[in-house]
Amino acid sequence: MDKLILENVYKNYGEVKAVRGVSFSMKDKEFISIVGPSGCGKSSTLRMIAGLEDITSGSILLDSEKINHIRARDRDVALAFESYALYPHLTVAGNLSFPLEVRGFKGEEITEKVNSILSLLDLEAYMNMTPTELSGGEQQRVALGRALIRGASLYLLDEPFSHLDAQQKIDLRTRVLRIQKLNGLSVILVTHDQLEALAMSDRIVVMNEGEIQQFGTPEELYEEPANLFVADFIGEPPMNFIEGILTRTDGGRHRLNCKEIRFPLPKRGGEKLSSYVDRKIIMGVRPQHISLAAKDMPGAFEGVVFSYEYQGEMGYLSLDCSGERVLIELKHATHYETGARLWCLFDDTHLYLFDPDTGERLL
Ligand code: ADP
Ligand code: MG
């Protein structure tokens, strides 16, 4: 059964069209992320699900019931929003027990649940402090605990890790995932951080300018991006994009001509590419799918070292290839002199091609 369904949901704030026809559904116990750049309509979407914002048009169904006109407090959803402040006069333990008291839980049961969430989120040391005594990151952990402590049909988390440093973020991510899996919670996480979405989600909604660009598993988004936007947004470091003219040899093979470089293209996808011959297209290749090669290898092209970054187990090599900047992730960290000449090769099983005007993926 679907836990939640959004059907053609719109949100306008006066002239601003923040959400434009968003439709997706999630299953019970699923972990869904909504990801996209700042201002793309993620929080507006989540706030409509929570009941904190009116829905301009479309419908939202929770547990098969249309909830458009149900007040926020009557929806069975738990929220951890960035702007959702803690109760300043209550201790951490008090903030956690409050939502349970409101729902009629009593003594023993409250203590048990509060202790359990304090331990799961590593908050025991702070239990008797008030929010003003805590750092931003610690307050966020309490806010998350307050949302997760009570039973709800759906949990909505808007940038719940934004005030944490990198290490705390990874630690809290694993704790939240564990709570979600152990208790079978249905969660929607809003984040601008695609790595966070890839790491945590069963499926991801990628948004841009109020519209869904793609809805799929982390693997689908990474390996089969639907368009140029998703290809650019998902992956770290970002995919390389090279614009060139598509040509066809007498033998029927396609190539991408970019200044002096002729990139051979794979045989697959021939029919769709035919209509692009002699036109501009964009080729995409991830830094992980380029390797250094010998000069005489077929398909190898020359680059000049622009910069090299040491990254521990690996390194990032930035090359200038005929004026195009190409980033390569090298598995073994070896230093490269700026200005040195090298040859490299694309893994042509991992090449993507896009229409430069529509962003549509062609291969
Ligand atoms: P995100 O969470 O993806 O950063 P939001 O949903 O907060 O994006 O905002 C989407 C768009 O709607 C933005 O252009 C933002 O400025 C606008 N917006 C959000 N809330 C309001 C509001 N209360 N009044 C007017 N415009 C708003
Ligand atoms: Mg937001």
| pLDDT tens track for 144-165 | 999 999 899 999 999 999 889 9
In angstroms, the CA 87 to CA 115 distance is 19
The share of the chain scoring above pLDDT 90, in percent, equals 86
Query: Which stretch of 57-66, 225-234, 328-337 has the lowest confidence by average pLDDT?
Result: 328-337
Ligand 1 atom nearest 210 alpha carbon:
10
pLDDT at position 84: 66
Which atom of ligand 1 lies at the shortest distance from residue 44's CA?
A: 6
CB 228 within 8 A of CB 359: yes
Average pLDDT, the chain: 94
In angstroms, rounded to a whole number, what is the distance separating the alpha carbons of residues 214 and 143? 30
- The pLDDT tens digits for 37-92 are 999 999 999 999 999 999 999 999 999 999 999 999 999 999 998 766 899 999 99
Q: Which ligand is nearest to the CA of 159?
A: 2
The residue whose CB lies within 8 Å of the most ligand 1 atoms, and thus the one to mutate among 9, 10, 12, 16, is: 16
Render pLDDT for 233-251 as a digit per residue (tens, 0 to 9). 999 999 999 999 999 988 8
> Which domains are delineated in the chain?
2-233 (3.40.50.300), 240-354 (2.40.50.140)
Ligand number nearest CA of 47 is 1
pLDDT, position 18:
98
Q: Measured on CA atoms in the order 249, 253, 254, 257, is the torsion positive or negative?
A: negative
Ligand 1: nearest atom to the Cα of 207: 3
Q: Is the CB of 38 under 6 A from ligand 1?
A: yes
Radius of gyration of the chain (CA): 25
Which residue's alpha carbon is at the smallest distance from atom 23 of ligand 1?
A: 13
CA 201, CA 30: separation in Å to the nearest integer? 8
Average pLDDT over residues 104-131: 95
What is the C-alpha to C-alpha distance for residues 131 and 138, in angstroms, rounded to an integer? 9
> What is the whole-number distance in angstroms between the Cα of residue 182 and the centre of ligand 1?
34
Q: Ligand 1 mean position to 39 CA, how many Å?
A: 6
**Cα gap 5→326, rounded to integer Å:** 42
Provide the edge-to-edge strand list for the sheet that holds 341-346: 290-292, 341-346, 301-311, 314-321, 324-330
142 touches ligand 1 (CB under 6 Å): no
Residue whose Cα lies nearest atom 20 of ligand 1: it is 44
- Structure tokens given for 221: 């988004």
Q: Determine whether the shortest distance from the Cβ of 37 to ligand 1 is under 6 A.
A: no
**Calpha distance 241→307 (Å, rounded):** 18
| Residue 351 three-state SS | strand
Letter string b/e over residues 42-60, b meaning 16 or more CB atoms within 10 A of that residue's CB: bbbbbbbbbbbbebbebeb
**Among 212, 187, 200, 151, which residue's Cα sits nearest to residue 26?**
187
Please determine, for residue 268, whether its predicted confidence score (pLDDT) is greater than 80.
no
